[in-house]
Structure 1
Amino acid sequence: MTSSQTPFLQLENIDVHYGAVQALFDVNLTMQKGEVVSVLGGNASGKSTTLKSVLGLVSPSKGRIILEGREIQGLLSPDVIDLGVASVPEGRRVFPEMSVYENLLMGAYPRRHEKEAIERDLHEVFTSFPRLAERRRQAAGTLSGGEQQMLALGRAWLRRGKLVCIDEPSMGLSPRFVDMVYQVLFRWKAAGQTILLVEQNARIALELADRAYVLQHGHVIISGTAAQLSADPAVQKAYLGAA
């Protein structure tokens, strides 16, 4: 990446308020197409609010969000999704009464006329997550938390978005399911998928990411390459369990 490249996504001096409470303070973030960028931090650090700002779920009170040269701050979430952004939300948010297969097709709805491509992508999802193939006719609400996370990822893959925004994919999962989820994310990265990842599990997020930002109380306090942050004593102490 060179400084002359126009960022694929750029947040410029973003403030976000929830009523009288300010959640983000002058946040700046950039990413290039094909990059994986992680936003790290503890509870109430502002990392999920940063993601929600990109997705149009909250509207900044100050600053600009620019996607492929277009300002998107203030757009509603459906309009952001129409621009090619896919989401894997915190808590999965699958459609509980619909089957696994129907949930996946909901992800593909914006490209519903691409029938052959959708069939190929469904095959890829079922190959990546054999449990979903076994349960394709099962109601999504009856799946375990790990299986629902697989489904949320598969649904996002069916969207074939230019950008995938992923919020806390390891939250509440057993180590085995975390490994399964991140194996797929590593494959997405290898395929060139652009990913904006919010994650409390800093160790595995930094293994996946090209670059990362650390938020604390709504402020970006550290940013750099994943290797730089992994070697930073302050990050090691606060987020990686170093003594």
Structure 2
Amino acid sequence: MKRHRHELFEFPLLTIDAIDVHYGAVQALYGVSLEVHAGEVVSVLGGNASGKSTTLKSVLGLVTPTKGRILLEGREIQGLLPADVIALGIASVPEGRRVFPEMSVHENLLMGAYPRRQEKAAIAEDLEEVFTAFPRLAERRHQAAGTLSGGEQQMLALGRAWLRRGRLVCIDEPSMGLSPRFVDAVYEVLFRWKAAGQTILLVEQNARIALELADRAYVLQHGHVVLQGSAADLAADPAVQKAYLGAA
């Protein structure tokens, strides 16, 4: 019997255990639980205000759960500052790109590698890998990041996360606001990362492409996990097709 890659690992790399999250008096998540195993791509799907981005922000320390736990290899990380979470080996590609606009493309990429700045030879190799994957960034390496198009900035955010060489990469809405051509370019890179064994937690509104990439997925509605399973099973689920894949 063929085993999924994540079944080879006894403990999940990341566990979200029944978290509630509030923004003031408004509750955004209700008992959300999910797991990500090493070498696995897990996607969190849902419409606007479903809670999918809040789930990712909880992992990154940008919001603190009011109940439940978040564990990285069994260590509780809920409530840690974002810098401390990143220091544990988590990389982030935030929604809206969030590049450093005044800094050059090259400088932005080096910011991703800052936690491993002593590894000069390895960083130089990784930079060349990013420039090979994104020729447009190579052409614009000395250009201010704020002058790039939205699609180019998304490529830069991905490249910066790759330079982090994190054990887990958290990616928030990578296709948002991009033309179909740039969406294809971004996901081409994510498929390469997956093939290289990179562990990814992906939040995405574009369910069709997210389910193509993911091993497993969770569907959120109004802060609740309403469906979960293998990406293939969810893509074939009539309820998912009707709600998220444009099926009649």
Query: Secondary structure of the equivalent of 1:53?
Result: helix
Query: Alpha-carbon deviations, 1:114-142, whole Å to 9, x = none?
Result: 00000000000000000000000000000
Query: Secondary structure of the equivalent of 2:203?
Result: strand
- Please state how far the C-alpha of 1:2 moved relative to its aligned partner: 3.6
The one-letter amino acid of 1:124's match is E
Query: Alpha-carbon deviations, 1:80-101, whole Å to 9, x = none?
Result: 0000000000000000000000
**Aligned with 2:187 (options 182, 186, 191):** 182
Query: Alpha-carbon deviations, 1:19-73, whole Å to 9, x = none?
Result: 0000000001011000000000000000000000000000000000010111001
Counterpart of 1:84 in structure 2 is 89
Give the distance between the partners of 1:195 and 1:55, measured in 2 at CA.
Answer: 13
Runs of at least 4 residues off by over 4 Å: none
Give the root-mean-square deviation of aligned CA atoms. 0.9
The one-letter amino acid of 1:144's match is S
Query: Secondary structure of the equivalent of 1:30?
Result: strand
Query: Secondary structure of the equivalent of 2:44?
Result: strand
Counterpart of 1:226 in structure 2 is 231
**Aligned with 1:58 (options 39, 59, 63):** 63
**Aligned with 1:168 (options 173, 188, 200):** 173
Contact 2:133 2:189 in 1 (8 A): yes
Superposed, which structure 2 residues align to 1:43-122 within 5 Å? Answer: 43-122=48-127
Counterpart of 1:20 in structure 2 is 25
TM-score normalised by structure 2 residue count:
0.97
The one-letter amino acid of 1:97's match is E
Contact 2:9 2:38 in 1 (8 A): no
Query: Secondary structure of the equivalent of 2:10?
Result: coil
The one-letter amino acid of 1:72's match is I
Counterpart of 1:239 in structure 2 is 244
Query: Alpha-carbon deviations, 1:156-213, whole Å to 9, x = none?
Result: 0000000000000000000000000000000000000000000000000000000000
Counterpart of 1:138 in structure 2 is 143
Counterpart of 1:150 in structure 2 is 155
The one-letter amino acid of 1:55's match is L
The one-letter amino acid of 1:178's match is V
Query: Secondary structure of the equivalent of 2:210?
Result: helix
The answer on 1:205 being equivalent to 2:210 is yes
Give the distance between the partners of 2:217 and 2:232, measured in 1 at CA.
Answer: 9
Give the distance between the partners of 2:10 and 2:45, measured in 1 at CA.
Answer: 25
The one-letter amino acid of 2:203's match is V
Give the distance between the partners of 2:7 and 2:180, measured in 1 at CA.
Answer: 37
The one-letter amino acid of 1:222's match is L
Count how many residue pairs are aligned between Structure 1 and Structure 2.
Answer: 243
TM-score normalised by structure 1 residue count:
0.99
Query: Secondary structure of the equivalent of 2:162?
Result: helix
Query: Secondary structure of the equivalent of 1:43?
Result: coil
Instruction: Mark the runs of 5 or more structure 2 residues left unpaired by the alignment.
Output: 1-5
- Please state how far the C-alpha of 1:146 moved relative to its aligned partner: 0.1
Name the % identity: 83
